[in-house]
């Protein structure tokens, strides 16, 4: 069987840094918290506007914050119970978020749900609206509102929807377990998206380190109109949109372009499963699968209500075997460090990793030895060593000319660098965008 791939990247599996062993065989386990703290700014775009207040009783799936702006999506109650506060609270680093606190009455009393129908027969022109009303945004981590991705600007065309099941980041096994345990939900979501966009071709792409999930999806997709599967080499960042499109279709997304410029829309497999729930059950996005791993005593794949705190996740996994040194959401390549364990799980958070103090200590950076490993590893064919010199010197204009804005912040260059250089490309991109250089 041929396996598809792209140029550059790294091989954490070969180097035994993949970190998936502890959870890849753990079935999905639901966890219901005592209280949720739901941020209203989980998606990319303007934050939603709270429409409940302290003392209100809410049902599961009820809208608690209304959409704002053209890409806006609503936020829903992830438990039934009483609103105990609407507060401003620090989540990740940066500005605090407006959050809605709800005490769980443990009744799971659902709001009335509007069912569109079976994915093959539901009115195609109503599906994108149902996705928006369900508050679905990219569950692979990007959190871009899904309905906005599916409405193409004038003059753009798409002939393929690509479902991203590569899960190439270290530690994360949430999508693996979803595809293995609920493959029909994934396939149905793809069919609904294809019908909504009028696209004839759908491909579900999975890395070869998840053969059991690949076989489950292949079986579920058999006989479904326009759907095929693609087996990918295990390599990071195979799940990057540009790398995935290149590997599966052979097409290049142009510099500064989007997947639609290669006539492709990429959706995550968990997003597809959420689309199925919205169409066939009228249920909004109120929970997600999150891998909890590292020094927790029972590494797990939890089905978590949105707004559950990190401290509750750690408790649900039996606590930690030693004192934590660092907490981060996501894998070790692109993960985001957390300020503390009171942070809430959002629609984007597919993994929580708890590391000990020794592993949390920063490695010392030394001088560049001009080995070129970073150049070979860069999947975008940039020259990270030279870009680093330009950014450190403050020459952002030249860095832009040499395409630093195309950097996908995958950290492959840092991973292979023997000098452990922390390439400053995120900050450089932000400065260039803010100053309009």
Q: Phi and psi of 368, rounded to 5°?
A: -60, 135
The single residue among 271, 332, 350, 385 that binds ligand SF4, judged by CB under 6 A, is 385
Q: Is 374 in the site for ligand SF4 (CB under 6 A)?
A: yes
Nearest approach, Cβ of 370 to ligand SF4 (angstroms)? 5
Please, what's the largest Cα pairwise distance for the chain?
Answer: 63
369 binds ligand SF4 (CB under 6 A): yes
Asked if 417 is part of the footprint of ligand SF4 (rule: CB under 6 A), the reply reads yes
- The residue within the footprint of ligand SF4, chosen from 92, 408, 432, 437 (CB under 6 A), is 408
Q: What residues contact residue 37 under an 8 Å CB cut-off, 6+ apart?
A: 89, 99, 100, 101, 307, 309, 342, 344
Structure tokens, 50: 């709270």
Minimal distance, residue 414 CB to ligand SF4, in Å: 7
Residue 410 within binding range of ligand SF4, rule CB under 6 A: yes
421 interacts with ligand SF4 by CB under 6 A: yes
Q: What's the token pair of residue 259?
A: 């997947």
Binder among 115, 409, 422, 430 for ligand SF4 (CB under 6 A): 409
Q: Does 382 bind ligand SF4 (CB under 6 A)?
A: yes
Closest separation between CB of residue 369 and ligand SF4, Å? 5
Which of 419, 20, 5, 62 minimizes the C-alpha distance to 237? 5
Instruction: Give the residue from 150, 128, 75, 140 showing the smallest Cα distance to 305.
Output: 75
Q: Which is nearer to ligand SF4, 6 or 31 (CB)?
A: 6
Closest distance of CB 423 from ligand SF4, Å: 6
The verdict on 413 binding ligand SF4 (CB under 6 A) reads yes
Stretch that binds ligand SF4, among 24-32, 39-47, 205-213, 374-382 (CB under 6 A): 374-382
Query: Contact region for ligand SF4 (CB under 6 A) — 12-20, 103-111, 289-297, 371-379?
Result: 371-379
Rounded distance between C-alpha atoms, residue 150 and residue 159, angstroms: 12
**Binds ligand SF4 (CB under 6 A): choice among 418, 422, 427, 430:** 418
In the list 127, 140, 412, 428, the residue contacting ligand SF4 (rule: CB under 6 A) is 412
CA distances from 22 to 4, 171, 316 (A): 27, 8, 16
Phi, psi of 230 (to 5 degrees): -135, 135
Q: What are the CA-CA distances from residue 334 to residues 255, 391, 414 (Å)?
A: 21, 20, 11
Nearest approach, Cβ of residue 361 and ligand SF4 (Å): 20
Residue 247 CB: number of other CB atoms within 10 A? 22
CB 216, CB 179: distance < 8 Å: yes
Rounded to whole angstroms, the Cα distance separating 249 from 261 reads 13
- What is the C-alpha separation between 419 and 336, in angstroms, rounded? 22
Contact 140, 239 (CB under 8 A): yes
In SS3 terms, 92-110 reads as CCCCCEEEEEEEECCCCCE
Does 411 bind ligand SF4 (CB under 6 A)? Our answer is yes
Report the residue number, 98 or 383, with the smaller CB distance to ligand SF4.
383
Q: Which is nearer to ligand SF4, 346 or 385 (CB)?
A: 385
Which of residues 60, 137, 378, 390 is near ligand SF4 by CB under 6 A? 378
Contact status: 370 vs ligand SF4 (CB under 6 A): yes
| Residues engaged in binding ligand SF4 (CB under 6 A) | 368-374, 377-380, 382, 384-385, 407-413, 416-419, 421, 423, 425
């Amino acid at each position: 069987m041929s396996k598809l791939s792209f140029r550059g990247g790294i091989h954490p599996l070969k180097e035994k840094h993949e970190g998936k062993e502890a959870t890849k065989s753990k079935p999905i386990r639901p966890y219901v918290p005592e209280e949720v703290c739901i941020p209203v700014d989980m998606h990319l775009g303007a934050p939603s506007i709270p429409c409940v207040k302290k003392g209100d009783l809410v049902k599961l799936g009820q809208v608690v914050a209304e959409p704002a702006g053209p890409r806006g999506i609503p936020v829903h109650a992830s438990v039934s119970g009483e609103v105990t506060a609407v507060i401003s609270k620090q989540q990740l680093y940066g500005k605090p978020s407006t959050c809605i606190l709800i005490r769980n009455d443990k009744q799971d009393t659902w709001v009335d749900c509007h069912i569109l129908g079976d994915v093959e027969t539901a009115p195609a022109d109503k599906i994108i609206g149902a996705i928006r009303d369900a508050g679905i945004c990219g569950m692979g981590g990007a959190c871009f509102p899904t309905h906005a991705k599916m409405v193409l600007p004038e003059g753009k065309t798409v002939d393929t929807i690509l479902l991203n099941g590569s899960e190439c980041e270290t530690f994360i096994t949430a999508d693996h377990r979803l595809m293995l345990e609920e493959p029909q939900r994934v396939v149905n979501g793809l069919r609904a998206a294809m019908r909504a966009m009028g696209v004839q071709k759908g491909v579900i792409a999975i890395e070869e380190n998840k053969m059991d999930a690949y076989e489950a999806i292949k079986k579920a997709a058999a006989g479904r109109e326009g759907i095929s599967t693609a087996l990918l080499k295990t390599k990071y960042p195979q799940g990057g949109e540009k790398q995935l499109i290149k590997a599966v279709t052979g097409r290049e997304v142009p510099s500064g372009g989007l997947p639609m410029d290669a006539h492709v829309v990429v959706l995550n497999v968990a997003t597809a499963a959420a689309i199925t729930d919205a169409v066939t059950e009228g249920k909004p996005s109120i929970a997600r699968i999150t891998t909890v791993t590292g020094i927790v005593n029972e590494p797990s794949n939890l089905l978590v209500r949105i707004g559950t705190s990190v401290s509750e996740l750690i408790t649900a996994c039996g606590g930690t075997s030693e004192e934590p040194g660092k907490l981060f959401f996501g894998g070790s390549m692109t993960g985001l460090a957390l300020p503390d364990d009171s942070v809430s799980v959002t629609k984007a958070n597919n993994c929580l990793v708890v590391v000990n103090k020794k592993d949390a200590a920063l490695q010392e950076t030394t001088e560049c030895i001009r080995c070129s490993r970073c150049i070979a590893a860069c999947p975008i064919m940039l020259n990270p060593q030279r870009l680093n010199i330009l950014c450190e010197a403050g020459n952002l204009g030249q860095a832009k000319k040499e395409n630093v804005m195309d950097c996908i912040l995958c950290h492959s260059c840092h991973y292979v660098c023997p000098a452990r250089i922390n390439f400053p490309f995120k900050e450089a991109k932000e400065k260039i965008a803010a100053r309009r250089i």
